[in-house]
Structure 1
């Protein structure tokens, strides 16, 4: 339940509107469910409304991207997305066909569309498959919207409504392939088995905490049997996931302390265990990710792709930029003989002021360090308890540390 609760929260970051939940009291046989890459056998008959045709000729749609958008009349986010989907259908009518699919009856839908001024004003008239049982058996779900992409007789994606975009439709239409975040309302706590044993299957899956799985940061490896590329991480905070992917895009030469994190979000405690709660926090808030690709890319490129996946699925954006923050500034000063409380013994031997800045940062006793000396020199730094003791050592090398404001690189994470 905790993992499913997290998936609901993650999805709410994408949508500001109420999400509906599937047909009550219907038992689903998950053995009948289709997976990405499976052949799609369409129903012999459907009950169709809001369409010039009385039924669907699936053969005529073989060269179009078919989008099945499962919805309910009580689902606010489903309704809110319909004008966008109608506009997309109008623009790409030669390349795609959207069917909205619901288990409710014709009378319910007629009453709904007749009384919905929002849909009338936006001229929404997408075809509706009603009284559906067959398609929901093939694409079972607990929450709507729930979306399936079908192209040339194969299931190409089972995903979220936000990913029905012109870019994704054209990519699938032009290349025959697409890898989108997987929406799985019945995940069993494992991210494996997404099609790595089948060269026709590609997939992306973002999930919550995985019981029994150890913490794993970003790993990119080639499967020895299929040759496919498996990119994954398990049981990490959202902040950590963003951070170590950015580190692959471009390595930073500083310690990524919390002072260099800007969170423009509604609930910052969902993103990192700032209060050091431990296992209970990770059980409720950690995320896990797996992506299968055919093509091996440079790690920096793959990390950028993973970031795009996270941004899309979680409804966030992240970027690095220079901002003015409180910091400890290292600057030149006249050399003064060491007159500290105790001799400098042990400690750290630094080869430059840049490495000195890292060592001071690792102590977490003072604000993040901004190096304005930028000099190659041997420095022995012993123990210190406060800024006065630190400066007693640094002054002997012609360096002083002062509190102030300076422009430093920060990582920004914000909700769209």
Structure 2
């Protein structure tokens, strides 16, 4: 019974040793290898090599860099023959490597032993690429895990004279899922490293809150093609292409571009024509955010868009003479008192007006500040009529005059076929 328990414990210990990769400072167990080439002994034991430094050179017959390094490794082995032992390590079988060397007669192995058909050292030191070098002392302690080019005359000489090893540690991703896009691989672990990316999704369920700029260098928008193009060319308030007359859509079928008014068909429309666009650029490139968005959208949707100037109907906010001001206050349960700059007040009017397909609002240059009571909310859409708003403004000493102005207009069109 004691013997059985002892055997089981040894098996568990052995499995644990092999299954866990070794790192710098770890001690290798005594391990023998007997599938060898280029060696005059039947086996090799890493713990019985009487040298100050053992360097394992993991390589493969398909690795051109590994094979090109053979002459250099051969020279190093001869230069440090008394203190250093190189050992080649390959997972391929002895027969396979022998056939390879017979076929490629110009390839000459360095003058040191080669372990073939290896699986143990591969588990001790897992890696994704070769050449892969592991430095050990004569007691099997791991001194360094590095790339092949770091093993050279100077690094070996420095170690032998007692200097501390300062070789870069070779770091590789061994669990990478090559079937996934980088941005979502392993639950998006690489996303914090992304400097720049953009992508477009089609037909996603409607996600509330994805309305535009989330940071100066990051933008997410889910909408129709027309609204995405508008977002790109408005450049976060630089232009207004949402009000009546500020855009021209010259396309064969508007259904592809515009959200339908018929709510019964909205669900089917979303599956075919609702897009989500996301863009992130480095903070230092924030000023290119909208230009990049424009290029992405026009290229992907294969359409053309540009800003032109033409005279269109506008509503100009202006003061009215004090003698014409209506002394009555606005009578409504939903009145909002505004004391803002003229420019900001104009933005609020435009945000509400474009939803009702009204012309753009301009603010007269002689208005610096506005103090008015109107039935428009700055934070949520409220039902109103233009007549009501003009009446409200009159009571506060302002009016909206219809004028013709030369204005920027966004032209969206399909290229000629």
Same fold (TM over 0.5): no
Q: Which has the larger radius of gyration?
A: 2
After TM superposition, the score normalised by the length of structure 1 is 0.42
| Structure number with higher relative contact order (C-alpha < 8 Å, ≥ 6 residues apart) | 1
After TM superposition, the score normalised by the length of structure 2 is 0.42
